[in-house]
């Protein structure tokens, strides 16, 4: 030991520090949940493949091979991710920086694929595959390949694999599965019964509402008929009242007037007058002598005028010369109007 020179010791220390100094790295990780499934009995099987960025103590020599699980530096870009089932050689799913995550298998309906090439905090990219009640043909060794580009522009291929084992269902597993199905059926039956009760209650409410609407519609219809009848009655009464008012106005405006001439009047003379329009009842008739002359010079002009036979259609005026009077002519003016 004493023969070792100091420069050699320093060189070893520097090399070790170079190998184990802290650096940024990218690493491919593949995770499965669960790692062992019972085909057709396990509800869900999940496989995730991730390119993880982290700080590690990896040496600079790691990642020099063509297919790696990690590199001493973070990848700037993920160009594609592919998952295949090595057991059968089938490509299962993939994504690229230009295409979305997609399923590559055909004729299957119990598989969902998601992921992207951009990742997120601490993740360069990922893909996740979820199987619902996986079959025996869907278990085996899965390989994930992630293609990336380093800061220096080199293409890097990350690869890793994992085994998902298939377990043969035991009698206990089958009994437990049947029991679970029966419990679920009972719960579904209860839910269906509860929902049916809710539906029946809703149906009853709807029926009650329909009955209420029908009742209200009948009430509205009855009220409409009643109001229409009352309106028609009021219109009839208003028409009759208007006719009465019109008749009264006609009666009130039925005024006639004229002049009658009694000539000559030696003792008594009667003249008649017929109304232009008959009255509904015998009207009031007012008359007066408006002019007379003596039949001779210094003759007497004593007279008497009286109304005779008033009716709805006319009347008569009797002109009399009294005390030997001789009148020629005599004019009587009259006016008639309703009572």
Average pLDDT, the chain: 85
Residue 7 has pLDDT above 70, yes or no: no
**Whole-number pLDDT of residue 4:** 41
Per-residue pLDDT tens over the stretch 280-313: 999 999 999 888 877 676 667 778 899 999 999 9
Q: What single-letter DSSP state applies at residue 88?
A: T
Residue 9 has pLDDT above 60, yes or no: no
| Homologous superfamily of domain range 23-168 | Immunoglobulins (2.60.40.10)
With a pLDDT cut of 70, the percent of the chain lying above it is 87
3-state secondary structure of 7: helix
Per-residue pLDDT tens over the stretch 215-228: 999 999 999 999 99
Section 167-185 average pLDDT: 82
**Whole-number pLDDT of residue 226:** 92
**Residue pair 162/72 in contact by the 8 Å Cβ criterion:** no
Confidence of residue 23 (pLDDT cuts 50, 70, 90): low
Token digits for 9?
């010791």
Question: Same CATH topology for 23-168 and 256-337?
Answer: yes
pTM: 0.51
**Whole-number pLDDT of residue 338:** 92
Q: In 82-170, where does DSSP find H-type helix? A: none
Going from N- to C-terminal start, the domains of the chain cover: 23-168, 170-253, 256-337
Name 70's Cβ contacts closer than 8 Å, sequence gap at least 6: 25, 26, 27, 28, 56, 58, 62, 63, 158
Looking at 1.10.275.10, 3.40.720.10, 2.60.40.2080, 3.40.640.10, the CATH number of the domain 256-337 comes to 2.60.40.2080
Using CA atoms, how far apart are residues 148 and 250, in angstroms rounded to an integer? 113
């Amino acid at each position: 030991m004493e023969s070792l020179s100091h420069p050699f010791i320093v060189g070893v220390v520097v090399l070790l520090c170079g190998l184990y100094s802290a650096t940024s790295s990218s690493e491919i990780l593949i995770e499965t949940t669960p790692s062992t499934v019972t085909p057709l009995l396990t509800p869900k099987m999940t496989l995730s493949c991730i390119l993880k960025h982290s700080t590690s103590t990896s040496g600079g020599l790691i990642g020099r091979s063509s297919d790696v699980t990690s590199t001493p530096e973070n990848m700037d870009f993920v160009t594609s991710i592919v998952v295949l089932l090595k057991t059968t050689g089938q490509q299962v799913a993939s994504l690229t920086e230009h295409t979305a995550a997609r399923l590559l298998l055909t004729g299957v309906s119990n598989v969902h694929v998601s992921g992207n090439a951009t990742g997120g905090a601490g993740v360069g990219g990922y893909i996740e595959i979820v199987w619902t009640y996986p079959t025996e043909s869907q278990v085996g060794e899965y390989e994930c390949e992630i293609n990336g580009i380093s800061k220096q522009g080199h293409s890097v291929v990350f690869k890793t694999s994992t085994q998902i084992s298939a377990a043969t269902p035991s009698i206990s597993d089958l009994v437990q599965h049947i029991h679970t199905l029966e419990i679920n059926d009972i719960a579904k039956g209860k839910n269906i019964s509860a929902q049916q009760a809710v539906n029946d209650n809703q149906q009853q409410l709807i029926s009650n509402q329909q009955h209420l609407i029908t009742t209200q519609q009948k009430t509205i219809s009855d009220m409409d008929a009643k109001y229409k009848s009352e309106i028609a009655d009021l219109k009839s009464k208003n028409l009759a009242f208007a006719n009465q008012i019109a008749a009264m106005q006609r009666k009130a405006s039925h005024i006639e007037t004229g002049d009658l001439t009694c000539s000559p009047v030696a003792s008594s003379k009667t003249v008649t007058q017929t109304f232009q329009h008959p009255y509904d009842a015998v009207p009031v008739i007012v008359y007066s002598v408006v002019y007379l002359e003596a039949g001779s010079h210094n003759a007497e002009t004593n007279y008497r005028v009286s109304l005779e036979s008033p009716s709805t259609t006319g009347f008569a005026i009797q002109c009399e010369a009294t005390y030997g009077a001789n009148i020629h002519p005599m004019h009587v003016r009259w006016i008639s109007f309703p009572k």
